[in-house]
Amino acid sequence: MSGTDVAGLRRAVLDLTQTQRRVLILHYAEGLAPREVAHVLELGEARVEAILEGLRAWAAARLGVAERPDQASAAGPLAAARTPA
């Protein structure tokens, strides 16, 4: 990822709400399951799932990555994070 891409990603993430950013980090960076994210943030699991779905749509629109892993034709920041190693 180039410096320009990283700067754009940072700006895009700053447009998210605090809750969206926390869900994003806990799920994609820390690897917590939605149920675990819900427990940590004291949210309902359905709410976390809804936030994750919204983040996938946001990533598709804002960052140009696939909404679902099976739709990924090119690796993107969120698509890569969802793909098991």
CATH number, domain at 45?
Answer: 1.10.10.10
Quote the domain boundaries for residue 52.
3-82
pLDDT band at 4 (very low <50, low <70, confident <90, very high): low
Predicted confidence at residue 8, as pLDDT, reads: 78
**Confidence bin at 75 (pLDDT 50/70/90):** very low
pLDDT of residue 3: 67
Total structural domains within the chain: 1
Higher pLDDT, 13 or 25: 25
Q: What share of the chain is helix, strand, coil (3-state, %, to 5)?
A: 70, 0, 30
Predicted pLDDT at 1:
61
Question: pTM of the full predicted structure?
Answer: 0.69
Nearest by Cα to 81 from 43, 52, 40, 51: 52
For 9-27, what is the mean pLDDT?
92
